Chains A and B, each alone.
Chain A
Amino acid sequence: MPGTPSDPTFAIYVDGQAIPARPGQTLAAVLLAAGCQTFRYTRSGKPRGIFCGMGACFDCLVTVDGLADQRACMTPAQPGMQVQTGTLAGGPPAGAGGGA
């Protein structure tokens, strides 16, 4: 049973979808483990994911519980956290390319 000592996993909600997380995981680790490589789109519509992984580059920005521009690589996952990437649900903004 999730959330118990024998099974400490819990759910976070990424663009409304429940995704399993473990204590000690950063949001970046939860997203990557769930197969989500794109964490956001830039103003020009280009996909971005984790890059420096240590809080310096600000590429992995997501919205966490309503607070914009949080670094997924530095944010510990907490039970019930609501994360918006805009990528699992909608894909790139209309008219934006997905390439580099």
Chain B
Amino acid sequence: MNAGVAGPLPAPQGPSTDVLVVGAGPAGLAAAVAAADAGLRVMLLDESPVAGGQYLAAYSAAAGEHLDSSHQHLSTSQPSGGSGNGAGLSPTRAERFGHALLGRLSAGAVDWRPGTLVWSLGAEADPAPACGLLSVAIYAHGATEHLSAGAVILAAGAREGFVPFPGWTLPGVMSAGAAQLLAKRHGLKPGRRVLIAGSGPLLLPVAVRLATPDGAGAPGTRVVGVLEAAHLPAWLRCGASLLAGVAAAADRDRLGEAVRYLAALARARVPYRFGRAVTAALGDGRLEAVTVARTDALGRPIPGTAETIPADALCIGFGLVPNVELAQLAGAASLFDPARGGWVPETDAFLETSVPGLFVAGETAGVAGAEAALSQGRLAALAAACRLGRVSQADLQRERDGSARERAAALRFGALINTLFAPPSGCQAVITDDTLVCRCEEVAAGEVRAAIAAGAVTLDALKTRTRVGQGPCQGRTCGPILARLIAAEMGTAPEAAGRFGVRPPVKPVPFAALASTVPASPARDLRPAREAGR
């Protein structure tokens, strides 16, 4: 799937667009709109058929939305029930701001291309000295296309992290984010008796949304419990930090949000338990029950505390992992920072990576939430505009300084969450030797542990030895799991395991489409005539 495919071809002439933004979640939307407002031609691409990412999914879901073909403008509608977070809770500041950005998109501010996968990214092979274009290869509607841009802003978001356990591949076991998205965008609940397990505050809105009865009188869904791996002190430290920052609007907003979620859970009588781990998912062909246990301070199941809970849906999540594959492919220098969710690109103060013209924003720059993403998206866009001569250094500096305090608060809170709710060191204990760690290639932990013992102590070495990471997800799911497994077996830090190498296409593209490339189409110029003529 990965074999021997060349990187993007240089575009035949001139850049396809000034700024190309990858990902239409909060960061990408903010970046695209700010770049357009600075007078630049902007292309906004997302694999998803709709804009908004995970965070704004309820706002972009709508009957009136056309999903059919290429190059359309989005039509958004007010979220049903007037709230994007479910349970009739009032929208957060970030949701209100994001909703306004979606409105700008539907008003045609940028060249918006849904259903578009970016599968390669790099500096032009032979750039004209002055322009330094970036090449981007995309796949959409059955064909690949090669584009070029003066600047690229990666706002590809994050994916969920997991701690595997026996049976976690059974239908009925899904990520908390999947359940959230199905509920937000499609009004679907994952089952009748739902258990939610993992770690961190992201489980709260999922639990609240799933526990809230449907207006349509659909068959009832009961959330039978939320099982938090962390122990109570983690939450208390989190609350204390929010209280300490309560003078800041963003912290006040977050604290209020948490309180509203906890109150909603209490009203729905959903039990919330600390220090619990799922030890197995059971069922014949689909989930029927879940065994759970109390955990010790290190997160290891305590013998004799196991209980079996009947459930037809189990929603799991252990925080978020930044989607950085395109930055890695482009050769951007990166570092491992657990407080930001793992491997992240190194950037300057304006979010430019070590690859000139390549910027990152939002969770791709480090997991820190929607407030940080919105602020970073705008900053990266203005920095790109400065690089392209549309914004002065002084104006860029002013933008950075003006939003610095709020951004720093969001990043600090993100770091606290990522640290307090990271998978505990003892969680390896639930990964029995017959637990699959690589879902794609069906490789069990026992085989991986044997390979580690035989000297395969990096992800790429394990990949060669055991096939982990060779399937269609290309190691996105198993990479962080395997890095922790190596760290646990070797007594080293997870970054010592390195990460999987990436090659184009960074996600599978049909071979026939790679072979038949259509010529690059320039971005539609959507700027007002006076801008376009400049």
Contacts and interface: CB of A to CB of B under 8 A. Distances in A.
B172 A37 contact: yes
User: Of B190, B285, B440, which is in contact with the most chain A CB atoms at under 10 Å from its CB?
Assistant: B285
A17 interface: no
Contacts of A53: 174-175, 177-179, 181-182
B172 A49 contact: yes
Contact of A52 (B47, B160, B167, B168): B160
A36 to B, nearest CB: 9
B188 A32 contact: yes
Interface stretch (B57-65, B373-381, B416-424): B57-65
B182 A28 contact: yes
Nearest to A79: B68
A57 interface: yes
A100 B167 contact: yes
Nearest to B323: A56
Interface in A40-56: 42-44, 46-56
Interface string B420-440: 000000000000000000011
A18 interface: no
B68 A33 contact: no
B439 A57 contact: yes
User: Of A24, A67, A74, which is in contact with the most chain B CB atoms at under 10 Å from its CB?
Assistant: A24
Contacts of B166: 100
A22 B63 CA distance: 8
A38 B171 contact: yes
A98 B285 contact: yes
A26 B61 CA distance: 11
Given A56-B476, A99-B283, A26 B167 contact: no
B329 interface: no
Contacts of A25: 186
B440 A56 contact: no
A24 B62 contact: yes
Contacts of A32: 182, 188, 190
Contacts of B472: 58, 61, 69
A78 B94 CA distance: 32
User: Of B68, B174, B179, which is in contact with the most chain A CB atoms at under 10 Å from its CB?
Assistant: B174
Given A58-B472, A100-B283, A50 B174 contact: yes
A83 interface: no
B219 to A, nearest CB: 11
B507 to A, nearest CB: 8
A44 B473 CA distance: 18
Given A26-B49, A52-B477, A54-B181, A8 B63 contact: yes
A76 interface: yes
A100 to B, nearest CB: 4
A59 B174 CA distance: 10
Given A58-B473, A69-B472, A38 B182 contact: no
A77 B476 CA distance: 26
A interface, how many residues as a size bin?
A: 35 or more
A23 interface: yes
Nearest to A8: B63
A29 interface: yes
Contact of A44 (B67, B160, B442): B442
B449 interface: no
Contacts of A26: 49, 185-186
A47 B285 contact: yes
A47 B282 CA distance: 13
Contacts of A48: 169, 171, 439
A52 B177 contact: yes
A84 to B, nearest CB: 16
B484 interface: no
A73 interface: yes
Contacts of A59: 169, 439, 473
A38 B286 contact: yes
A74 B477 contact: no
B346 to A, nearest CB: 23
Interface of B: 47-50, 54, 61-63, 65-68, 115, 142, 159-160, 166-175, 177-179, 181-182, 185-186, 188, 190, 281-286, 323, 439-440, 442, 471-473, 476-477, 507-508, 510
21 contacts: A24-B62, A24-B65, A32-B190, A38-B171, A48-B169, A48-B439, A51-B175, A53-B181, A54-B48, A54-B181, A55-B48, A56-B159, A56-B323, A56-B476, A56-B477, A58-B472, A61-B472, A69-B508, A74-B115, A98-B284, A100-B282
